[in-house]
Amino acid sequence: RGGSEGCAEAERMLNESGRRETTLYAIFDALRDGPKTNMELTEITPRYSARIYDLRAIGVPVVTERPRRDGLVTYRIATEALQ
């Protein structure tokens, strides 16, 4: 399958298996513990950016810090927005 049909199928499978929800919570828990780099989040799931998108979509204020010279990007939850 190709194109959007293949993407829709993959999306359906992720949702049915619960993998998306599991990795969503894992990313959320990691960020609640403090700022994490893209390399640290990749260890949880290679699709960490999609889970960050999902977190933002449900109202979690995830902040992206500017890339460092070494190419790492830091993500954190804006705790001031949660108070």
> Of the candidates 73, 18, 81, 27, which has an alpha carbon nearest to the alpha carbon of residue 54?
27
Is residue 50 within 8 A of residue 57, CB to CB? The reply is no
Amino acid making up residue 64? T
pLDDT digits (tens, 9 = 90+) for 11-61: 555 566 566 788 999 999 999 999 999 999 999 999 999 999 999 999 999
Distance CA(73)–CA(39), nearest Å, equals 8
**pLDDT recorded at residue 79:** 79
DSSP label of 27 = H
pTM: 0.71
**pLDDT recorded at residue 2:** 42
**pLDDT recorded at residue 26:** 93
Mean pLDDT across 61-69: 89
pLDDT digits (tens, 9 = 90+) for 71-82: 899 999 997 655
